[in-house]
Amino acid sequence: MTTPSPSPGALAGIKVLDLSRVLAGPWCTQLLADLGADVVKVERPGAGDDTRHWGPPFLKDADGNDTRQAAYYTACNRNKRSVTIDMATPEGQALIRQMAQQADVVVENFKVGGLKQYGLDHESLRTLNPRLIYCSITGFGQDGPYAERAGYDLMVQAMTGLMDITGRADGEPGGGPQRVGVAVIDLFTGLYASNAILAALHVRDNAATGTGQGQHIDMALLDVGMAVLANQAAGYLATGVAPVRQGNTHPSLAPYQDFPTLDGSMLLAIGNDGQFQRFCAAAGQGAWAQDPRFATNTLRVQHRADLIPAMQAVTRTRTTADWIALLEDKAVPCGPINTVAQAFDDAQVKARGLAVTLPRWPQGEAADGVQHITGVASPLRLSATPPVLRNAPPALGQHTQEVLRELGLDAQRIAQLQAQGVV
C-alpha cells in the first residue's frame, strides 16, 4: 500500500517575507509556516536574530556539550528558510524589495518609521505590490503619543496592569507584582497578528467579495496587553473597581485554586455548584454542600475565608495522586501542579505527540554540531490540512543561495554580493 503524501498545509502557495525578530513577529510567522506558508526569514549577516544569542540555555552538540546556539531561537523559527541580507546597503534593499514583489505577506517589527529610510515601509512596498499584506508589530502602535517608543513584553505587562494582578497579595509572603512566566504579550500578539493576516488574505482573495488588494495591519503590544485582560478588564469597566492580586485564587469562582496535599499540592478548578457538590461527597464532607454559606458559587466567593481553610485541612490528608484518583471519574476538575519536566513526561502529553524532534540539516554539515532539534508540536489539529513540521529552525543564512537563485541571480552575482558583505 502506498503511504499518502503529507498535506501541503492550508496555506500552501502563500509566500511570507519575515523581517521580524525576537518573539512576537517570529511567533506569528512560525504559525503561518506550520500551516504551509513558505516563510523566508531575513537576518543580519554574521549575527542573525537577537535570540540566536539569548542563552543559556544553549543547544547541545552530538557529544552533549553546549554550542553557541541559544535554545530560545528554536521556539519560534521552525519551518522557515533563513537568508542573510544587510538591509543597510542599497543592494540589500533592492533584494528585499524584489522578494516583496513576489510575496503575499510581509511581517516586520521595527520601530515606527524604521524601515522608511530603506524604502521597505508599507507605502513603498505597496507601490511595487498592491496585493501585499503588510503587518507591522510595534510596542505602542503607529499613532498616539507613545508611537515612537520601543516596546517590550515585560514593559507592557507592567503598563497594562497584568503584573499588578499577577502574584500574591502585598500582605502575604512573597507578595507583590509578578510577570507571567513566559512572554505572554509577545505570544498573544503573534497569535492576533496571524489571525489578522488570515483575515486580510481572505478579503483579498475571496472569490465572491475579494478586493484583490492588500492592506496594512497595525499590531501593538499595548493593544493586545489590554485586550487579554479579558474578564478582569470587563469587571473594572463594569464597576470602576480595579481588580487586585490574589495569588492562585479566582476573583469570581471558589474553590478555584491550589490546595496543599499530604505530599505536595494540587489544583482544584471547581466551576459550578454540581462540581462542588460532587467534591464534597467524594471528600466525605457532604455538610459543606448543604451549608447556606456555600450553597452557590456567589456565596462561596463571599465566604471564601471560611471555606478555604476548612478545605485545606481535608486536602492535606491525602496525597496528590490519591486526590486525582478519587476525583477524576467524578467530573471534578483536579490535577497536579507539574514542573515543565513533569509536564513533558505526562502520559497525555506523550500521547498527543507534543514534543517533536526534527532534523537540522544533513548530517555532517552542521557547523555547530547540532543535528536535531526538539520543540513543541503545533497545537492546531486540522483534519484535512494539518500543520506539517517540515524542517527544524534553520542555521543562519542556510538558504541564502537557494532563495537568491529563486530571484533569478546567477552564481557569479551571488558570489559578488557575498564578497561585498551584502549577503
Distances (CA, A) of 2 to 5, 6, 26: 9, 12, 36
Q: Is the bond into 90 cis (omega within 30 degrees of 0)?
A: no
Closest to 24 (Cα-Cα) out of 200, 123, 155, 158: 155
How many other CB atoms sit within 10 Å of the CB of residue 287? Answer: 9
Task: Let me know if 156 is exposed, middle or buried by CB neighbors in 10 A (0-12, 13-18, 19+).
Answer: buried
Which cell is 85 given? 541580507
Closest to 288 (Cα-Cα) out of 311, 265, 264: 311
Closest to 326 (Cα-Cα) out of 338, 337, 314, 310: 314
Q: Which residues pair with 266 in a beta bridge?
A: 259, 336
Cα–Cα distance for residue pair 187/77, rounded to 1 Å: 13
Q: Is the bond into 255 cis (omega within 30 degrees of 0)?
A: yes
Q: Please enumerate in sequence order all residues whose Cβ is within 8 A of that of 165, keeping only pairs 6 or more positions apart, or say none.
A: 229, 232, 243, 244, 245
Could you say which of 34, 86, 104, 186 is catalytic?
186
Q: Which residues pair with 39 in a beta bridge?
A: 16, 80
What is the three-class DSSP state of 84? Answer: strand
- Looking only at the bridges linking them, the beta strands covering 38-43 and 58-60 are unpaired
**CB crowding 362-387: b at 16 or more within 10 Å, else e:** eeeebeeebbebebeebeeeeeeebb
What is the three-class DSSP state of 98? Answer: helix
Please spell the DSSP secondary structure of 206-248, one letter per residue.
-TTT--S---EEEEEHHHHHHHTTHHHHHHHHHHSPPP---TT
Q: Which residues pair with 301 in a beta bridge?
A: none
Cα–Cα distance for residue pair 273/301, rounded to 1 Å: 12
Q: Is 258 a catalytic residue?
A: no
Cα–Cα distance for residue pair 254/299, rounded to 1 Å: 9
Report whether 323 contacts 279 (CB < 8 A): no
Cα–Cα distance for residue pair 104/132, rounded to 1 Å: 5
| Active site members | 186
